[in-house]
Copies of this chain bind each other. A is one copy, B any other.
Amino acid sequence: MLKLSCFESRLAELQRLHPEMPVQAVSMVRFIIFLQRRLEDELAGILAQHDLSHSGWSLLMMIYSAPRQTINPSTASDVLGQSRPHMTRMTDELCARGWVERTQDPNDRRAVEICLTAKGAAAMQEILPPMWRQYEGLSGRFSAEEIDLFSGFLRRWLLDLETATHPDNPPAAPAKDIA
């Protein structure tokens, strides 16, 4: 029996026991958790070939795509949803590879700037193509229309959660079509 089927049997039984259970909410939350585990496991396989963890990869992509290919640890922590000590450790690892370097923020002596090096940029050129293929392979089999809809739902949910925990944030503009 498929694991998901087994899980859904449990869910059905839970609902039988507790008709007041918000079954859709419970299952959606659980589906997200299951998806995350699988997706990270799959990505971990190919990242391991480059001796990268998922966190290191996330940070590297943030740096690579930032203005002047430079970021500071607190911003990275904020956007990636991971702790500042973890950004410190990931930065340590990437520095050890020679892929990034830390410099002093000229305007704020507390702050550090993490910049991509030429070596790091070269590494990214090598890693990105197989990673794009991996991401594509991880996509479910959806039509373009379904992907637009699904992506929009995920984004809205994220925004709802972000806005709920930081009510002072203004509601975000609708998604711009990035493509």
Contacts and interface: CB of A to CB of B under 8 A. Distances in A.
Interface stretch (A35-43, A88-96, A97-105): A35-43
Contacts of A40: 33
A161 B25 contact: no
Interface in A13-71: 13-15, 17-18, 20-29, 31-40, 42-43, 61-62, 64-66
A35 B157 contact: yes
15 contacts: A2-B159, A3-B78, A6-B75, A7-B79, A13-B65, A15-B179, A17-B65, A18-B128, A24-B139, A33-B36, A35-B154, A38-B165, A141-B156, A141-B160, A149-B153
A62 B30 CA distance: 12
Nearest to A159: B4
Interface residues of A, number: 79
A18 B61 CA distance: 12
Nearest to A148: B24
Contacts of A28: 139, 147, 150-151, 154
Given A3-B81, A28-B154, A42 B161 contact: yes
Contacts of A128: 18, 21
A16 to B, nearest CB: 9
Interface of A: 2-8, 10-15, 17-18, 20-29, 31-40, 42-43, 61-62, 64-66, 75, 78-79, 81, 128-129, 132, 135-136, 138-142, 146-151, 153-162, 165, 169, 172, 175-176, 178-179
B65 A162 contact: no
Contacts of A65: 10-11, 13-14, 17
Contacts of A153: 140, 142, 146, 149-150, 153
